[in-house]
Structure 1
Amino acid sequence: MVLSVMAMGMMAIRFGGSAAADESRAANVVATPVSLAGRWVGQYYGYGRSSDEKGCGETGCRMTFDVVACKDGWCGIAIKDDKSCGAIGLHLAAADAKTGEHIFTGRLEIAKGAAPYVVQAWHDADKETGAVELHFVGDTGSELLMYRRSYPFEATLARSGDAVCTLDKATS
């Protein structure tokens, strides 16, 4: 009995000290905000795409956005096939700087008049190559349910340079 009480006391001290150390380390971490500004290019995938659609099929559909800072976070201006500035089709809320996570939530409209996707995006930088990617998952509806096996919308976009389009140049 005495041995088990001593063991429990030592475990409490050990784990309590460890938790305090973890909290101390977490308090010292400075979250650096992620800038999404730039041109983002990549493929997106969705249910119901046939291989005869322009740019779609097994390789997905191509999309390009110039992402710029806007009132509530980040706005993505669609780049048309002729490389001109299109409409604002992406809205992402700024990531929570307190948590240090680079997760953004928002809405994505691929085609005018189509149901928009509720999306979650996360920023990922490869430490070895320096390549920067923005990953998306999304669903139509009012909220994104993260406990799914698959999503009607998935995309990975790579940063390919600076944004050319601005909010002033975006068409509506």
Structure 2
Amino acid sequence: MAGVMIAASFVGSAAAQDDVKEKVTTAAVVPSLAGRWTGHYYSYDHRGDPACDEKGCALTYDIVACKDGWCGIAVTNEKTCGAVGFRLAAADNRPANVFRGKFEVAKGSQAYTVEASTHSADDPAQRLDFVGDTGPELRLFRRSYPFHANFVRAGDAICTLEKATS
């Protein structure tokens, strides 16, 4: 009987160790989003907007760590820090490279509920893709999203939360 208890205890402790290893491994691969990111978002009607062309509408954000995850500060003229345009946090029950949050394209506009993910086996934080929808939750099984943006890392962030306009 003692042998059975020892064996059960060993199996339970091995399973617990595997669980701890998995959590440590997962935590180790969480990418840093800190830096300047440039890219385009795709909108249904961007006629007349000087920031838009056939590639979409140009956006630049400096992403910095903030209270609950990451904050994206809008950048204009390559050096002027604008308002915080989005906030992201690690997504529950999703891979470490996936974040969820809110994205406000223009100050005062309705915010999109978004999911953002980084991609690349070599350096997971060189590309950041967003999909989003208006409303309280993101519905990932829809066929299209009113908000879709792709960003690439362009350097170090210059803007800080203190420099961001409210």
TM class by smaller structure? 0.7 to 0.9
How many Å apart are 1:142 and its aligned residue?
1.1
Partner residue in 2 for 1:142: 136
The correspondence for 2:43, drawn from 46, 51, 70, is: 46
After superposition, what is the alpha-carbon deviation per residue over 1:76-115, rounded to whole angstroms, capped at 9, x for unaligned? Answer: 110013521111111001355x864311000011111211
Taking the TM superposition and a 5 Å limit, the aligned residue runs for 1:25-64 are: 27=19, 28-29=21-22, 30-31=25-26, 32=28, 33-50=30-47, 52-64=48-60
| Local SS of the residue matching 1:125 | coil
Change (3 A) 1:147 1:131: closer
- In 2, the alpha carbon distance for the partners of 1:99 and 1:107 equals 17
Q: Percent identity?
A: 51
**Equivalent in 104, 111, 114 of residue 109 of structure 1:** 104
Partner of 2:149: 155
Whether the 8 Å CA contact 2:118–2:124 is kept in 1: the answer is no
TM-score of the superposition, structure 2-length normalised? Answer: 0.79
Aligned residue pairs: how many? 147
Gaps in structure 2 of 5+ consecutive residues: 1-14
Which residue of structure 2 lines up, in the alignment, with residue 4 of structure 1?
none
**Deviations 1:9-38 (CA, angstroms, capped at 9, x unpaired):** xxxxxxxxxxxxxx89x7444012211110
2:86 is the counterpart of 1:85: no
Matched letter for residue 119 of structure 2:
D
Picking from 57, 64, 67, the partner of 1:68 is: 64
- When normalised by structure 1's length, the TM-score is 0.76
Cα contact 1:126–1:132 (8 A) shared by 2: no
Contact 1:138 1:151 in 2 (8 A): yes
- How far the C-alpha of 1:126 sits from its partner, in A, is 4.9
